Every structure is written in structure tokens, then in C-alpha cells.
């Protein structure tokens, strides 16, 4: 293997055969004496190991690389979520003729029941595919906490609404106090599912939109207590009734 040599006089760089290691010779350019370095003093840079860590007797790595596991849709769970959505629409339509007290009870129960599949499905649609997804018990706990928080926000809003607007008919500006709740709901999605703020906003907004739609199917205004239908609510109800064929 050739040995690299630098002349101390003219600083010419050249290589000599390894048989001259440790010997002195004249520089081919300036003729000054040059001491050829010994091969044992040569610095050898080894190629870095591709796999560091514990190895077996043969020098092979005993550690397995970590591979990302994709979280796949469960067909049974998805079918159940779709079926529950159909049942929710049917119950909401049947509750149109119920008393106000019965409707309030159904809305309270439905706010929680509907939140579970919506939170679960929304997470799979909005989560970052580059990150490891939550599964099994961890996903169930996070979905339950998220669902209860979403339903609780609706409960707080329902308690504040009559204090802010009384029993009057719903007007579009009555939805303005809902904006802080959208911010809180976004934070809930961020904490429960590690979604970014944009995805968290859409996650909670989808739940709010579905629950408002169910209220309209029940014959209630979008927000607030039952009241005489305003032109805007009447228009939306007319579209919903046309879609269901009644």
C-alpha cells in the first residue's frame, strides 16, 4: 500500500512504495532529504459500522430495527359507527313529536353517544400518517375522554344560552358565544389525540356540525331552546325534510 509523503522543503506531496517505510531518501523535486514515515504511524480511518449496539459471538447485531406499524381501520368498528349514525338520525326524527323534557334528555344522552364514533373516526381521518397512531386501550381511553369533554362543552353552552339570550327565537348572532367553545374543543382534540391545531379545530367542528344537524332533524333550532322557526331555520328544516322524504 503506497505511503503518502510531504517534502518539508518544497512541500511537494507524493507517494512512495511501502518498501521504503522508515527510510530516508531525496525529494525527487528539490533533492532535500526526506524521512519516509513508518507504516505503523499511518492513521487508518475505518468505515463506520452500519449497525451499532449489542452483537452476538459472530459479530452480528442482535437488535432489530423499529418499524412503524400502520393503524388500520377495523371493518367491524367502522360498520358499527355507521350503524350508530343511522340510529341517531332515526331517533332524532322520531323525537320530533316528543315533549320538551324528553327532547332535552335525548339531546344530553345523544351528545355523549354520538361523540364517541365521531371522535374515533375523526382521529383516523385527521391524524398525521407519519406518526405512530394510538391503538387499543390507549385509543379507547383518549376517545372516551374526548367524547365526554365534547358533550360537556355542549352542556355548558346550553346552560349559558338562556342567561345570555333568554327564551327568544334563535338569531344568527346567537352563535357568537360558541367561538370560545370552538377554541376549547380544539384544545381538547390537541391534548387527547396530539392533533395539530388546524386538525383539532376540524375535529371538534365536525362534531358540532353533526349535533346541530341532529337538532334540526328533531325540529329544534340550531342553538337554544325550542322556539318558533325563523326563516333561516325553516329553510334548513325544509332541506332536511326533503332529503328524508317527508
One domain, residues 30 and 131: no
Q: How many CA atoms lie within 13 A of 222 on its CB side?
A: 20
Q: pTM above the 0.85 mark?
A: no
One domain, residues 86 and 29: no
One domain, residues 163 and 236: yes
> Can you give the pLDDT at residue 145?
93
One domain, residues 126 and 34: no
Q: Which range among 69-78, 104-113, 146-155 shows the weakest confidence by mean pLDDT?
A: 69-78
Q: 367491524: which residue's cell?
A: 76
Strand partners, 15: 4
Report how far apart, in Å, the C-alpha atoms of 102 and of each of 91, 107, 153, 210 are.
12, 9, 20, 20
Report how far apart, in Å, the C-alpha atoms of 135 and of each of 64, 72, 193, 202, 218 are.
22, 10, 11, 21, 35
One domain, residues 30 and 120: no
What is the Cα–Cα distance from 95 to 215, expressed in whole angstroms?
10
What is the Cα–Cα distance from 130 to 145, expressed in whole angstroms?
24
> Can you give the pLDDT at residue 17?
78
> Can you give the pLDDT at residue 155?
85
> Can you give the pLDDT at residue 121?
84
Strand partners, 33: 26
- Within a domain: 62: no
Backbone angles phi, psi at 223, to 5 degrees: -140, 155
What is the 3-state composition of the chain as percent helix, strand, coil, each rounded to the nearest 5? 55, 5, 35
Contact 20, 1 (CB under 8 A): no
One domain, residues 133 and 222: yes
| Domain range for 170 | 75-244
Look at the chain and report how many structural domains it folds into.
2
- Within a domain: 92: yes
- Within a domain: 165: yes
- Within a domain: 191: yes
What is the Cα–Cα distance from 97 to 228, expressed in whole angstroms?
15
Per-residue pLDDT tens for 104-115? 788 888 888 888
- Within a domain: 45: no
- Within a domain: 70: no
- Within a domain: 145: yes
- Within a domain: 47: no
What is the Cα–Cα distance from 200 to 217, expressed in whole angstroms?
26
Percentage of the chain modeled with pLDDT above 70: 70
One domain, residues 103 and 30: no
One domain, residues 133 and 28: no
One domain, residues 26 and 137: no
Work out whether the CA dihedral 50, 53, 58, 64 comes out positive or negative. negative
One domain, residues 105 and 216: yes
Report how far apart, in Å, the C-alpha atoms of 62 and of each of 25, 49, 52, 55, 69 are.
51, 14, 10, 5, 21
Per-residue pLDDT tens for 107-139? 888 888 888 888 888 888 888 777 777 888 988
> Can you give the pLDDT at residue 73?
52
One domain, residues 117 and 20: no
One domain, residues 159 and 110: yes
Amino acid at each position: 500500500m503506497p505511503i503518502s509523503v510531504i517534502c518539508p522543503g518544497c512541500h511537494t506531496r507524493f507517494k512512495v512504495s511501502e518498501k521504503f517505510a522508515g527510510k530516508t531518501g531525496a525529494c525527487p523535486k528539490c533533492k532535500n532529504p526526506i524521512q519516509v514515515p513508518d507504516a505503523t504511524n499511518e492513521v487508518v480511518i475505518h468505515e463506520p459500522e452500519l449497525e451499532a449496539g449489542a452483537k452476538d459471538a459472530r459479530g452480528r447485531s442482535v437488535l432489530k430495527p423499529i418499524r412503524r406499524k400502520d393503524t388500520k381501520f377495523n371493518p367491524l368498528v367502522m360498520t358499527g359507527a355507521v350503524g350508530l349514525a343511522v340510529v341517531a338520525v332515526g331517533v332524532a326524527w322520531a323525537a320530533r313529536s316528543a315533549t320538551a323534557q324528553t327532547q332535552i334528555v335525548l339531546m344530553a344522552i345523544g351528545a355523549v353517544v354520538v361523540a364517541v364514533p365521531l371522535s374515533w373516526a375523526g382521529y383516523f381521518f385527521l391524524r398525521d400518517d407519519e406518526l405512530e397512531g394510538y391503538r387499543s386501550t390507549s385509543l379507547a381511553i383518549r376517545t372516551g375522554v374526548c367524547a365526554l369533554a365534547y358533550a360537556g362543552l355542549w352542556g355548558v353552552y346550553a346552560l349559558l344560552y338562556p342567561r345570555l339570550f333568554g327564551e327568544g327565537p334563535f338569531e344568527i348572532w346567537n352563535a357568537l358565544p360558541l367561538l370560545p367553545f370552538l377554541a376549547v374543543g380544539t384544545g381538547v382534540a390537541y391534548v387527547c389525540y396530539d392533533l395539530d391545531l388546524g386538525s383539532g379545530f376540524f375535529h371538534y367542528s365536525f362534531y358540532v356540525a353533526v349535533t346541530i344537524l341532529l337538532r334540526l332533524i328533531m325540529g329544534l333550532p340550531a342553538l337554544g331552546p325550542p322556539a318558533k322557526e325563523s326563516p333561516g331555520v325553516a329553510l334548513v328544516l325544509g332541506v332536511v325534510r326533503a332529503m328524508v322524504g317527508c
